[in-house]
Structure 1
């Protein structure tokens, strides 16, 4: 290995000589025949672009630490590298790790680098493949949810942290990898924290494995302290932009940011802008306002192009074309999007409102609260670096405002039921210890275990049951995974697959433009299903699929006409295909679609109750004020619900099952479907029912249960679930229950 490293240093010297001749001489001077050097990764001669990009790479701040990094990687299992954004750590460190694995002839595995965002993983893979002078999808690839661009030849793979976490279920020791790079560790997502905690156990069982953690200061200091003084390489920080602070309050920051965008544009100073707002709702609203204001501006100022940075819009950081050089792009973003700007060299202005919206889960009420609060000092410093030395950063908050040092750990604020299910799966695989950087709240941990127990995912000893193992195979929350498994018993797999995909994808409903709300609601009413919102989702998906078969009518046009998001529906389509593949791999029984029959409607509700029996509510006064049995909280239906929209032909049901409850200004429940209380009594686990807190609603259910028990003792037969081999209904019997558009 030492001889190979010395060979690498000699090769670097040769690269400098060749690239120097290429840069200083003319195109005629440089000829591949003069200095024929082969790419160590694919065996082909380097292209001229490789040497050009090599010069750019050597100007990055991270390059000065290359020799120190290589030495640390050779002698240590775990390394922490800290540096601000645009220092090059996300592109260069994985390449150096690939060289390290090559030195061992890949005997210990290849390299994987995790990211928190799918678009970031794709962009970095494309850039690194270009720098390494190899083909994307071969030597360098990426794996993100619903998309895999890798092959057996891949030696450097970028992926999202949740994809790598799920890979550990089948390969707990990550034996395919010699180096694992955890990027953006400072973001403290649940998946990243779980990976960091479990990798401590993995390296103890695999002495040859190397783990590299990439972070930003000051979060990196906490990581070093947690891991007990591991090597810590600090990348020299780039000079930050000129920072201008404001004394405005939170209520003024949104409109102040938009006014500042227009003022900068009128000043005609060159460069693109990045505006950081509190939430995706503010991003959408700002994009609409700026688009209207841009249409009123004088043509002599150049075109102002607002761009919303959200999960459904990719490729916004592409190089500017010739036609776009006279326009100014305004990137509107919120938290966790800063690293997407690493490839935007034209960014000269950053406008930071200094606040963010986060969802904090409360295990006592089984709901998330919307919290608007100041960003961390860590995130504020990252944003200041984006504009570069020649730019300006406008902070729309006072300089003396107190900010928390680090980004809050997601595992302390999220519903960790899925995380606990994953950890239980890891226990089955032999990884019984997770060294948490921030240990989850005991109350949240106990609530997660209780919920998994109610779902029959745990056995009597608290270990993962067979049902729990199958549930963990699906990239869904445990309740939906249980409902999907129950659909196999109740012969409604196709319909529940659609519901699961639609709920896992972003919402397909878009906020209608001002003045079009009434028209949008009229379109939604055409899609509403009388049996509830879950059935409406099936209706929307089926109609979207049928629109793809119309020769003179595209799905995009149909979505636009009905105020729906085509990208969200396409994502749901891809998720459904993935879930279908998993069911086939697990050899679970599939059923033919029967949407619209009475038997199918009843069975869908049975399957949903199997997973969501903990989320039942009752209208206590007939006005749409719902009492949730498990938490004793009151809530209203969301306006986009078929019943919340006060559709004339649909009155709010007395009993309903809901998918989500959020504590916010509107305090509403989303995606609701009416459920007969008798059906709830049949499907609910007995020990959960008796653990429900006392209430009038529980007394009503207890009365129904006692009455049915008395009827059974008197010889009457208790209603049984619909058999999976029930005869198909005739076309005539289906018409009354058919969805409105079908």
Structure 2
């Protein structure tokens, strides 16, 4: 039946009647007006609703619609196709729908359709819109899967999901045998996950000739990306956009932030109706702009209408507003966002103005110091073009940079700038699953790859042959960074699973601490000090989570108000609660023991630190002068404890410890250690692998540790020698962790 598609135009294929309605032509003239009522939905067999026809009319006006026949022909004839078009061409909604029609035409004999997105919120929004357009129920014929939430059924024919969710699915279904078409949206962003997917799909298509792969991009792909799959040029369908509005360039020097806000206010005073999108650089700028525009909006004349600023943070779950159309024309929305989020505005046709700073913030991982550096860089030429196309043909795009500025031609590759330790762990797992090769479009940085292998070796995730060990296999089951996964497994040995699962959930979710406005900062510290634990921030997180759960169980406690009173993020705590359940379920599924809670006892405190050190022994620092200057053992950098830490707040209850374990070193932003806990050098020596300790660079801190280690060895030698036939006993104080 696949050949039948090629003989139909896109419109005929979509609107073809079912067999039971083929005799409608025989109806009398008076019955012609009921033809639409008799037309049945291909996917659920029910008559189409009136809303279906209303949306169909809107869909036919999208630029992508003119390419339907060409796309269906290409999909039927070959394995690969790339569709290039900006956010408002309709590519992310229409192409997956047509893929579902293609699968329906061959009776789903090779599977269904999955479409990946970078951000979870966009996967949900698109699934809801497409279900509406296809006139089916969300969660049935059309569904979505995002972290911590699945809305699908056994009869789902089109599923939107995040790219990371599809990668995790491949651990149990390496050849993606349940799918006939895999659509990789936003492939132009070149994230680690999208590059990884494209590399693995090349291998899968060799083993599954019937599988179709569709790449959706906002800009034309590079020649290397075009030639990636087959060694020859992949068919490329280019969608014409509706046309960009007027483009105005201006040079603002370094004051793009103030210039952006002045432009917004000027637009609101003097321009016609229409929403505004402002592309800033950092999250802090977005939040500050939100506060300023809210305050300025109150002083504007009422006859101008309401100015409604909205912060759009796709990387922060639970913070995205609904981006649909406003019912009132008296309100002008100002969407404040950062790069690269052009695709988030696919559903907002009311955008008339775009303000573009022309810069982006990138995290570039340095494997030598095992931390990210923050760089502010110009956006690519493709990104600049995508932003200009957001404005309607009668609108304007204000580019706050000179017209002659030379922008990079291509988007920078995340695979060459990111910590790929988790990626390498996943690829090692895929080797076991049968996919032994990932042909990347661009290879990862060799130094970063070696550092990732070294780290996995330190964590005992690899065996002597460099293959995944039993420990590594279990670590890969958790949607966690390898260090945290190792910590969680170590907690099973040290009988503190209940507490460490809380730590893992709290650190994986967004920070639970609200970042109040400047005038409220003095009030936040005393509120949160109630939860501070003398042993450090990891223990403080346990206190907060337990207090949150206790408030949830109290019928008289208003949880949201409780969070507000203590300057805590209610959404983040809800996510941590969900993650806590997920991690606990995984432990039970793989039959690992979950200990009885014992938080507060001295033994439990020591065991939690041991478990933390089992995973984070590479992140230890020592106060070298007693004033809070912490020397990081692995790369000799000196940093301070973050002010939001219990120690950083310089609370009278907590003295600065000499040795600390930290969760993160924010090197370029503030050079601070975040989420720190007090440890002893003896605990570090006990838990760190010997070969890691010996590979540490020379320093005074290493000499102190070596003296402790030598003293322990001498103490063992001075013990009474064993009698004949007895095995010598090691000093139990310095036994190595069994899990190593």
TM-score exceeds 0.5: yes
Matches within 5 A, 1:330-409: 330-409=334-413
Deviation of 1:312 after TM superposition, in Å, equals: 3.4
- Is 1:142 the counterpart of 2:144 in the alignment? yes
* Change in 2 beyond 3 A, CA 1:158/1:10: closer
Which residue in 1 is equivalent to 2:440? 436
Deviation of 1:573 after TM superposition, in Å, equals: 1.2
Deviation of 1:497 after TM superposition, in Å, equals: 0.7
Query: In structure 2, which of residues 293, 303, 321 is the aligned counterpart of residue 316 of structure 1?
Result: 321
- Is 1:252 the counterpart of 2:265 in the alignment? no
1:323-362 per-residue CA deviation (whole Å, 9 max, x = no partner) reads x432211111111321111111211111111111111100
Query: In structure 2, which of residues 631, 648, 652 is the aligned counterpart of residue 648 of structure 1?
Result: 652
Is contact 1:219-1:378 (8 Å) kept?
no
- Is 1:293 the counterpart of 2:289 in the alignment? no
* Change in 2 beyond 3 A, CA 1:14/1:167: closer
1:355-384 per-residue CA deviation (whole Å, 9 max, x = no partner) reads 111111000000101111111111111111
Is contact 1:186-1:220 (8 Å) kept?
no
Deviation of 1:263 after TM superposition, in Å, equals: 1.1
Which residue in 1 is equivalent to 2:449? 445
- Is 1:625 the counterpart of 2:629 in the alignment? yes
Which residue in 2 is equivalent to 1:663? 667
- Is 1:678 the counterpart of 2:691 in the alignment? no
Which residue in 1 is equivalent to 2:12? 12
Is contact 1:283-1:308 (8 Å) kept?
yes
Which residue in 1 is equivalent to 2:25? none
Deviation of 1:219 after TM superposition, in Å, equals: 3.1
Structure 2 distance, partners of 1:77, 1:632, is 51
Secondary structure of 2:255's counterpart equals helix
Which residue in 2 is equivalent to 1:545? 549
Which residue in 2 is equivalent to 1:203? 205
Structure 1 distance, partners of 2:426, 2:388, is 37
Secondary structure of 2:150's counterpart equals strand
Which residue in 2 is equivalent to 1:575? 579
Query: In structure 2, which of residues 269, 273, 277 is the aligned counterpart of residue 274 of structure 1?
Result: 277
Is contact 2:121-2:317 (8 Å) kept?
no
Is contact 1:218-1:405 (8 Å) kept?
no
TM value normalised by structure 1:
0.93
Secondary structure of 2:664's counterpart equals strand
* Change in 2 beyond 3 A, CA 1:551/1:77: same
Secondary structure of 1:420's counterpart equals helix
TM value normalised by structure 2:
0.93
Query: In structure 1, which of residues 296, 303, 312 is the aligned counterpart of residue 306 of structure 2?
Result: 303
1:375-405 per-residue CA deviation (whole Å, 9 max, x = no partner) reads 1111111111111212111111111112111
Deviation of 1:8 after TM superposition, in Å, equals: 5.7
Structure 2 distance, partners of 1:321, 1:692, is 59
Secondary structure of 2:52's counterpart equals helix
Secondary structure of 1:169's counterpart equals coil
Secondary structure of 2:227's counterpart equals helix
Structure 1 distance, partners of 2:155, 2:13, is 28
Structure 2 distance, partners of 1:7, 1:45, is 26
Which residue in 1 is equivalent to 2:329? 325
* Change in 2 beyond 3 A, CA 1:686/1:453: same
Secondary structure of 2:519's counterpart equals coil
Which residue in 2 is equivalent to 1:718? 731
1:464-523 per-residue CA deviation (whole Å, 9 max, x = no partner) reads 001101101101000000000000111111111111111111111222122221111121
Is contact 1:218-1:406 (8 Å) kept?
no
Secondary structure of 1:41's counterpart equals coil
Is contact 1:412-1:441 (8 Å) kept?
yes
Is contact 1:376-1:407 (8 Å) kept?
yes
Deviation of 1:220 after TM superposition, in Å, equals: 5.1
Which residue in 2 is equivalent to 1:24? none
Structure 2 distance, partners of 1:330, 1:29, is 50
Is contact 1:359-1:414 (8 Å) kept?
yes
Structure 1 residue runs of 5 or longer lacking an equivalent are 19-27, 725-742
1:386-438 per-residue CA deviation (whole Å, 9 max, x = no partner) reads 11212111111111112111221111111000000011111111211111111
Structure 2 distance, partners of 1:17, 1:617, is 70
